[in-house]
Amino acid sequence: MCGFAGYVGEGFGAERAPSLLSAMGQAIAHRGPDGHGIWIGSGIGLSHVRLSIVGLSDGQQPMTSADGRYTIAFNGEIFNYVELRDELKARGATFRTGSDTEVLLQLYAYDGEACLQKLNGDFAFAIWDATERKLLLARDRMGVRPLFYTEHRGTFYFASEVKALLTVPGIEAELDAVALDQIFTLWAPIAPRTAFRNIFELEPGQMLVRENGANRLKPYWTLDFPDVGEHGATDEDHTEELRALLSDAVRLRMRADVPVGSYLSGGLDSSLISALAAPMAPSGLNTFSVTFDSAEHDESSFQQQVASALGTRHNSIASSPETIATAFPDIIRFTERPILRTAPAPLYTLAGLVRETGMKVVLTGEGADEVFAGYDIFREAKVRRFCARQPGSKIRPHLFRKLYPYLPGLKQQSAEYLSAFFNVSGTDPSDPLFSHRPRMKSTAATKIFYSADLRETLGHYDAAEELSTRLPERFRRWHPLHQAQYLETRLLLPGYILSSQGERMAMAHGIEGRFPFLDHRLVEFATKLSPDAKLKGLREKHILREAAKGLLPDSVIERQKQPYRAPDSSSFTGPGTDEQAYVSEMLSERAVSATGLFDPVAVSRLHGKCRKQTVAGFRDNAAFVGILSTQLWAKNFAEKQLVTKISALSKSSL
């Protein structure tokens, strides 16, 4: 696990290349605190920072093939590198190192772009072919590892994080107003767009070839589902196959020349990963958890129960509103985008705990909810469709009460209120975004705080409608549950869960997270399952729960999912909260006016409202965190050119 950056083109003179590449590497040094290397060729330069996990003594990068033709800078892990090395040896290859980096380099030398089909891993890499003068960039199938690129004055630049690109003279941080609107609707920009205008991200499962001054983009893997009625049935064989696949995914991700630990939230997903990993850890398994002061967020009793049942060495760290508020400016610096939730902050703190113990690698349960339909939004959409078939029913809407036991206020509401609250009659079931419309509508309510200039710039732009136009041609042929899963897996997973909560928070401390549920073999297996295998009635992750039997206590297997959340606006302000100075500064009418993105008077009223109330609603929470994070983003990345007239932004970004 590492970070890399580089350039291709003659626009940047070779005499200045060492200083540029050093600066690019320094900007992302947190990703690779164990080493830094640069490599310069004719019209090409690569910078690499290393977190040594496999091939500790001989995996330095950038790495060049023995014949001098190919050079690689690589971030991530190829988990099946042992099997691939054996295959290459049978084909005549010889190896100088024990690293997965050299395996990838040699595999490309033998198979070219087709090598991507053989990789099981979380990766982003750049390979330069000196003979054909061609650069290949590629990103893993699920979008675990990030990769960004841009072009400036005829030179093509790329990096694991945008920070490295901003060290290039002439590349300035400028807000993409459309990306901001997408965040304030969908929680994430629609790739390849980023928060930075004219800086793009390579999409999951995609490759980019740079040759003769032009880019060629194409997918090498796509998330797909069978047509309605063509998926498999639920049976005992599928459960056993799932357990075998997941066990093998964990086994591969336990490969490292350093100890591997595991996050343990107390929920089904991380508990199951820990249960499978514990017998594979030669010296016992270290598990890591975050706890909360507030009962509605805390899962420590389940964490302790699982740790005790598995016999792990358990470590935990408390997350309070104060620790969230203190860490939040750093969170935005590492996410490199505005966010609507504080949830990344406790995970940032947790990664720091892992680093303090001397470990570098942890397994996590991320991805299970997307792959096996664990989120409340899937169950909610199913109930909404059920109610829509009899819109006048007084009985069906009461099913909504079963979905959110952690929202006690819903239990006292009438059927009419529940129907209206969940928008039963307000959305056409044939709408491709049916499952997500209520969330998009609730999130988009935060736009009442936009400034007049930002509204004028955006005009009639509709982020949700753009998302609709980006859906694959086969989308409408899928089961509604699979449509909802696609939306979560292709947008929210790489655009928020992995980027803002997962990979970025871990790598901020030089910690590599590994995600067994995102093994592409497991994902492809799950796409072919019957919807009922995943969401049986209202029992989410049905087949996963069945596979966990005998490995975990029944109380953990059968507990209803408790979504991972953290206190939002109450972490920064409110009765009994000591508001930190930067919060008042960033939300002041002067600072909001200077940035030009939000209405300073409306923001001031929101700030005052949150100061007075103990519990804020969804809109106010999302707006408060979104506005504060956007203000911090501007201060971190665009302070030299704070936008005073948003309408001056190029309309080409629309």
Distance (Å, rounded) from C-alpha 385 to C-alpha 383?
5
Task: Tell me which H or E stretch contains 419.
Answer: helix 415-421
Residue 566 has a pLDDT of 85
Q: How many other C-beta atoms can be found within 10 angstroms of the C-beta atom of residue 225? A: 23
CA dihedral 192, 194, 197, 198 (to 10 degrees): -30
Tokens 């590892």 locate to 145
- Please calculate the CA angle 256-544-276 and round it to the nearest 5 degrees: 30
Distance (Å, rounded) from C-alpha 595 to C-alpha 583?
15
The DSSP bridge partners found for residue 280 are none
Residue 236 has a pLDDT of 66
Distance (Å, rounded) from C-alpha 644 to C-alpha 7?
32
Which among 378, 416, 376, 425 has a CA at the least distance from the CA of 397? 416
For residue 370, what are its two tokens? Answer: 């997307």
Residue 409 has a pLDDT of 67
For residue 425, what are its two tokens? Answer: 């009659």
For the domain made up of 2-219, the CATH class stated in words is: alpha beta
Give ranges for CATH 3.60.20.10 in the chain: 2-219
Distance (Å, rounded) from C-alpha 127 to C-alpha 143?
18
- Note whether 330 and 351 are within 8 A (CB): no
Q: What is the mean pLDDT of the chain?
A: 92
Residue 344 has a pLDDT of 96
Kindly list the distances between the CA atom of residue 378 and the CA atoms of 169, 175, 487, 501, 564, in Å, as whole numbers in the listed order. 46, 33, 11, 21, 16
- Note whether 263 and 270 are within 8 A (CB): yes
Residue 218 has a pLDDT of 96
Dump pLDDT digits (tens) for 464-480. Answer: 999 999 999 999 999 99
Kindly list the distances between the CA atom of residue 101 and the CA atoms of 64, 82, 259, 348, 443, in Å, as whole numbers in the listed order. 10, 11, 19, 28, 42
Residue 642 has a pLDDT of 46
Distance (Å, rounded) from C-alpha 379 to C-alpha 432?
16
Kindly give the parts of the chain with pLDDT less than 50. 641-652
Which among 513, 15, 14, 29 has a CA at the least distance from the CA of 5? 29
- Note whether 267 and 362 are within 8 A (CB): no
The 3 state secondary structure assigned to 325-394 is HHHHHHHHHHHCCCCCCCCHHHHHHHHHHHHHCCCCEEECCCCHHHHCCCCHHHHHHHHHHHHHCCCCCC
